[in-house]
């Protein structure tokens, strides 16, 4: 096999032949700090996922490679070969059910790459669907670019990036999502790239940047990405997974990492890949795109036999055998040796170069931009508040008619209690209707947070402030419709208290749902979880079973004190019953003819009369703050704990043996449990 490989050009030779733009990290060190660039190298990288029955499956199997400043590394391979997993591993974004081992070094140092140190365009586009292309990129520019740049400069940067990605004709079209058609899939892809290249990052991960694009658009997008460095003078390290590059796009790649079922079939200069295949008996047929040929040879999903042509002796073998031949041949090849040597060189510690964090807009600016963006999104998304407003108005009209003009009879005591219970439990419960829209919002937040566009605190502040006017609207309008015709206490202070309590409860449920979304990010599971939690709180709130009758363990201590319904019920009962007198049922003569509101509160509803209704409202407001802070803590803790947990889990893969069912086939990785 060595003789076959010796004909393949040496890596260094190819680099020398390449453009003068290709500069190794060592040469970069002589330059200024800004232009230093990022060298990424990985050695014997394994990624495994644990499945059922304590079995684990290897997704990446001992990959070694590197990516250098000023170069484009393309990761290619059939679907499911591990391209996205490799990108995730390199960017420090593997899921919690995966285990990683091996060494990933940035400029020779072990550093965590997540949270804002690199830009990553993921395979799925997560964008705010209600914004237009221009708005999405503008807001992002204002969030990401530092305060040292003026607003005008930021706009200019956004405009030029939009043009760079060929989106100038779609600037005023909404992005669109489920239910609302907006820009095309290919355009969404380009908006995602646009947002990530705004800050001119030194390290750029792109997962299938050209999917959904025609061959011309793919070429222009890739060419512009590859030549970004020429414009801003930053020697950029680009790692892109790609499915079907045309021959023109293929020529833009400096290095190629070809994967099949998580194994390296080839890693080295892109231009030498076809030669490597030819030398191993798989020459590219004339007039065929080399990348198509490479992928066809190593795709074993469809059980296709392929023709092997070695030393003019042709025979038919299975794709599995072909992959086996290529993998074994690559392991013993000179190219592999060169790669290993290069990785060794790159892993020498470069203490002078630290990978600088991106500078973004100041905290206040971020809060302002996020508030504005979130306000626009809530305004345009019908599911967020408008639909709820409509339903609430319909329910308020129903309440006003069912409980119309309550009198002061004994029976109206129960009616008033039921009215308040319905408002503060069922009406607030329906706040979960806005959860799907919120989950979409959270997905965008998650992506932006991982790419370090802004902090969690700015997001929480932006979301809270922008939702205030809408929450006020959905509590004030339906509240007024339901309150006055029902004949509850007329004074404006009573109405004001009722609205304040309703507003606080709606905001509380929103805050609760934010916490649920941070733990259960799936919208259906989130709705079920949120509904379950609220159901328990409602039961413990003191209406369905009176407080003194609640079983002590769990329901009274602690649930009765944790459930916000308790404070909403008791506060609103005090607001309604204090100062009123009702006819005593069956009572005769004198002072016994009526029953005071205070008496009803104490004896009928078991309300704690040792403090005023304002304390109840204060507790509700305090709970809102507590819930929002809790959300912040959960996100921040996950951020801090996740890399730690991943590093704990990053143990060397368990002892394995290779079982060769067929000597020519790729070795199967079987685990000894």
Ligand X SMILES: Nc1ncnc2c1ncn2[C@@H]1O[C@H](COP(=O)(O)OP(=O)(O)OP(=O)(O)O)[C@@H](O)[C@H]1O
| Footprint of ligand X (CB under 6 A) | 49, 59, 77, 79-85, 95, 97-98, 123
Instruction: Pick between residue 59 and residue 143 the one whose CB is nearest to ligand X.
Output: 59
> Would strands 237-241 and 203-207 be described as parallel, antiparallel, or unpaired?
parallel
Partner in contact with 212, chosen from ligand X, Mg ion, none, beta carbon below 5 to 8 Å by kind = none
- Asked if 289 interacts with Mg ion (CB under 5 A), we say no
Q: How far is the CB of 85 from Mg ion (least distance, A)?
A: 8
Give the residue among 34, 53, 111, 45 at the shortest CA–CA distance from 671.
Answer: 53
State which of positions 111-170 bind Mg ion (CB under 5 A). 123
Partner in contact with 70, chosen from Mg ion, ligand X, none, beta carbon below 5 to 8 Å by kind = none
Q: How far is the CB of 124 from Mg ion (least distance, A)?
A: 10
Partner in contact with 95, chosen from Mg ion, ligand X, none, beta carbon below 5 to 8 Å by kind = ligand X
Which phi and psi (to 5°) does residue 266 adopt? Answer: -160, 135
Cβ-in-10-Å burial (0-12, 13-18, 19+) of 655 comes to exposed
Partner in contact with 36, chosen from ligand X, Mg ion, none, beta carbon below 5 to 8 Å by kind = none
Helices (H) and strands (E) in the chain, counts: 26, 17
Q: How far is the CB of 671 from ligand X (least distance, A)?
A: 15
Instruction: Pick between residue 195 and residue 259 the one whose CB is nearest to Mg ion.
Output: 259
Instruction: Pick between residue 101 and residue 109 the one whose CB is nearest to ligand X.
Output: 101
> Is the separation of the CB atoms in 174 and 129 below 8 Å?
yes
Q: How far is the CB of 84 from Mg ion (least distance, A)?
A: 3
Q: How far is the CB of 97 from ligand X (least distance, A)?
A: 5
Q: How far is the CB of 82 from ligand X (least distance, A)?
A: 4
Partner in contact with 255, chosen from Mg ion, ligand X, none, beta carbon below 5 to 8 Å by kind = none
Q: How far is the CB of 50 from ligand X (least distance, A)?
A: 9
Q: What is the DSSP letter of 358?
A: P
Helix, strand or coil for residue 64?
Answer: strand
Give the residue among 283, 263, 288, 286 at the shortest CA–CA distance from 273.
Answer: 283
Helix, strand or coil for residue 121?
Answer: strand
Strand runs (DSSP E) across 568-660, as ranges?
A: 581-583, 594-596, 656-659
Q: How far is the CB of 192 from ligand X (least distance, A)?
A: 15
Instruction: Pick between residue 31 and residue 80 the one whose CB is nearest to Mg ion.
Output: 80
Partner in contact with 361, chosen from Mg ion, ligand X, none, beta carbon below 5 to 8 Å by kind = none
Partner in contact with 59, chosen from Mg ion, ligand X, none, beta carbon below 5 to 8 Å by kind = ligand X
Give the residue among 259, 309, 310, 307 at the shortest CA–CA distance from 84.
Answer: 259
Query: Cα–chain-centroid distance for residue 346?
Result: 32
- Asked if 211 interacts with Mg ion (CB under 5 A), we say no
Q: Please report which helix (H) or strand (E) contains residue 507, including its range.
A: helix 492-519
Instruction: Pick between residue 34 and residue 124 the one whose CB is nearest to Mg ion.
Output: 124
Residue 310: CB partners within 8 Å, gap ≥ 6?
Answer: 280, 281
> Is the separation of the CB atoms in 660 and 653 below 8 Å?
no
Stretch that binds Mg ion, among 2-10, 80-88, 141-149, 601-609 (CB under 5 A): 80-88
Instruction: Pick between residue 85 and residue 572 the one whose CB is nearest to ligand X.
Output: 85
Instruction: Pick between residue 58 and residue 466 the one whose CB is nearest to ligand X.
Output: 58
Helix, strand or coil for residue 381?
Answer: coil
Partner in contact with 85, chosen from Mg ion, ligand X, none, beta carbon below 5 to 8 Å by kind = ligand X
Q: How far is the CB of 69 from ligand X (least distance, A)?
A: 25
Give the integer Cα–Cα distance in Å for 255 and 266. 10
Partner in contact with 245, chosen from Mg ion, ligand X, none, beta carbon below 5 to 8 Å by kind = none
Exposed e or buried b for every residue in 191-204, given b needs 16+ CB within 10 A? Answer: bbbbbbbbbbbbbb
Q: How far is the CB of 58 from ligand X (least distance, A)?
A: 9
Q: What is the DSSP letter of 91?
A: T
Instruction: Pick between residue 109 and residue 211 the one whose CB is nearest to Mg ion.
Output: 211
| Contacts with Mg ion, 328-357, as mask; x by CB under 5 A | ------------------------------
Instruction: Pick between residue 5 and residue 59 the one whose CB is nearest to ligand X.
Output: 59
- Asked if 184 interacts with Mg ion (CB under 5 A), we say no
Instruction: Pick between residue 41 and residue 81 the one whose CB is nearest to ligand X.
Output: 81
Give the integer Cα–Cα distance in Å for 668 and 650. 22
| DSSP-H helix ranges across 76-233 | 83-90, 133-144, 151-164, 185-197, 215-226, 228-232
Q: How far is the CB of 75 from Mg ion (least distance, A)?
A: 9
Q: Six-digit token pair at 448?
A: 């932006």
Q: How far is the CB of 87 from ligand X (least distance, A)?
A: 8
Long-range contacts of 605-608 (CB under 8 A, 24+ apart): 605/417, 605/542, 605/546, 605/569, 605/570, 605/573, 605/577, 606/542, 606/546, 606/547, 606/548, 606/549, 607/570, 607/573, 607/574, 608/547, 608/570
Q: How many residues bind Mg ion (CB under 5 A)?
A: 3
- Asked if 84 interacts with Mg ion (CB under 5 A), we say yes
Residue 33: CB partners within 8 Å, gap ≥ 6?
Answer: 356
Cβ-in-10-Å burial (0-12, 13-18, 19+) of 17 comes to exposed
In three-state form (DSSP H/G/I as H, E/B as E, the rest C), the secondary structure along 252-269 is CCCEEEEEECCEEEEEEE
Partner in contact with 77, chosen from Mg ion, ligand X, none, beta carbon below 5 to 8 Å by kind = ligand X
Q: How far is the CB of 207 from ligand X (least distance, A)?
A: 7
> Is the separation of the CB atoms in 456 and 371 below 8 Å?
no
> Would strands 72-76 and 237-241 be described as parallel, antiparallel, or unpaired?
parallel
Instruction: Pick between residue 49 and residue 499 the one whose CB is nearest to ligand X.
Output: 49
Instruction: Pick between residue 82 and residue 281 the one whose CB is nearest to ligand X.
Output: 82
Instruction: Pick between residue 155 and residue 243 the one whose CB is nearest to Mg ion.
Output: 243
Q: How far is the CB of 76 from ligand X (least distance, A)?
A: 9
Instruction: Pick between residue 80 and residue 667 the one whose CB is nearest to ligand X.
Output: 80
Residues in the site for Mg ion, rule: CB under 5 A? 83-84, 123
């Amino acid at each position: 096999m060595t003789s076959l490989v010796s004909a393949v050009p040496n890596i260094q030779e190819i680099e020398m032949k390449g453009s003068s733009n290709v500069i190794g990290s060592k040469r970069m060190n002589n330059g200024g700090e800004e232009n230093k660039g990022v060298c990424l190298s990985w050695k014997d990288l394994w990624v495994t996922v644990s499945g059922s029955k304590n079995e684990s499956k290897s997704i990446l199997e001992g990959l070694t490679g590197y990516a250098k400043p000023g170069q484009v590394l393309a990761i290619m391979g059939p679907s499911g070969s591990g391209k996205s997993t490799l990108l995730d591993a390199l960017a420090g974004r593997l899921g919690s059910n995966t285990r990683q081992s091996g060494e990933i070094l940035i400029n020779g140092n072990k550093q965590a790459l997540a949270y804002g140190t690199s830009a990553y365009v993921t395979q799925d586009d997560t964008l705010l669907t209600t914004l237009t292309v221009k708005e999405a990129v503008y807001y992002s520019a204002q969030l990401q670019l530092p305060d040292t740049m003026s607003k005008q400069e930021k706009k200019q940067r956004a405009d030029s990036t939009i043009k760079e990605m060929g989106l100038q004709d779609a600037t005023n079209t909404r992005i669109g999502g489920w239910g609302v058609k907006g820009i095309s899939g290919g355009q969404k892809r380009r908006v995602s790239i646009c947002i990530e290249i705004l800050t001119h990052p030194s390290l750029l991960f792109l997962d299938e940047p050209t999917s959904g694009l025609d061959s011309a658009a793919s070429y222009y997008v890739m060419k512009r990405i590859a030549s970004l460095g020429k414009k801003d003078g930053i020697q950029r390290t680009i790692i892109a997974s790609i499915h079907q590059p045309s021959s023109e796009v293929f020529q833009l790649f400096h290095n190629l990492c070809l994967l099949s079922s998580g194994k390296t079939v080839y890693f080295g200069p892109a231009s030498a890949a076809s030669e490597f295949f030819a030398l191993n008996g798989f020459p590219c047929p004339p007039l065929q795109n080399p990348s198509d040929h490479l992928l066809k040879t190593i795709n074993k999903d469809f059980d296709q036999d392929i023709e092997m042509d070695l030393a003019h002796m042709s025979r038919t073998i299975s794709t599995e055998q072909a992959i086996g031949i290529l993998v074994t041949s690559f392991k013993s090849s000179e190219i592999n040796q060169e790669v290993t040597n290069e990785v060794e060189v790159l892993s020498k510690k470069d203490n002078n170069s630290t990978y600088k964090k991106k500078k973004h807009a100041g905290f206040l600016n971020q809060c302002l931009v996020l508030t504005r963006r979130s306000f626009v999104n809530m305004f345009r998304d019908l599911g967020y508040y408008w639909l709820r407003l409509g339903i609430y108005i319909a329910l308020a009209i129903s309440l006003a008619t069912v409980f119309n003009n309550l009198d002061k009879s004994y029976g109206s005591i129960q009616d008033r209690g039921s009215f308040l219970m319905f408002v503060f439990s069922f009406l607030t419960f329906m706040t979960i209707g806005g959860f799907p829209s919120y989950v979409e919002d959270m997905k965008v937040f998650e992506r932006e947070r991982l790419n370090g566009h802004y902090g969690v605190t700015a997001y929480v502040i932006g979301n809270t402030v922008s939702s205030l006017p809408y929450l006020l609207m959905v509590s004030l309008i339906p509240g007024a419709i339901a309150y006055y015709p029902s004949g509850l206490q007329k004074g404006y202070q009573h109405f004001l208290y009722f609205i304040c309590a309703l507003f606080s409860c709606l905001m509380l449920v929103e805050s609760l749902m934010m916490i649920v979304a941070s733990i259960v990010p799936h919208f259906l599971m989130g709705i079920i979880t949120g509904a379950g939690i609220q159901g328990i709180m409602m039961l413990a709130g003191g209406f369905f079973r009176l407080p003194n009758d609640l079983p002590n363990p769990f329901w009274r201590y602690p649930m009765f004190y944790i459930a916000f319904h308790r404070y909403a019920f008791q506060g609103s009962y005090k607001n309604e019953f204090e100062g009123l007198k009702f006819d005593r049922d069956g009572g005769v003569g004198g002072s016994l003819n009526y029953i005071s509101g205070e008496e009803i509160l104490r004896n009928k509803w078991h309300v704690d009369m040792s403090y005023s209704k304002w304390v109840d409202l204060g507790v509700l407001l305090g709970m809102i703050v507590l819930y929002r802070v809790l959300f912040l803590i959960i996100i921040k803790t996950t951020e801090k704990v996740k890399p730690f947990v991943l590093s704990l889990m990053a143990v060397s893969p368990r002892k394995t043996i290779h079982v060769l069912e067929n000597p020519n086939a790729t070795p199967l990785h079987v685990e000894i449990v």
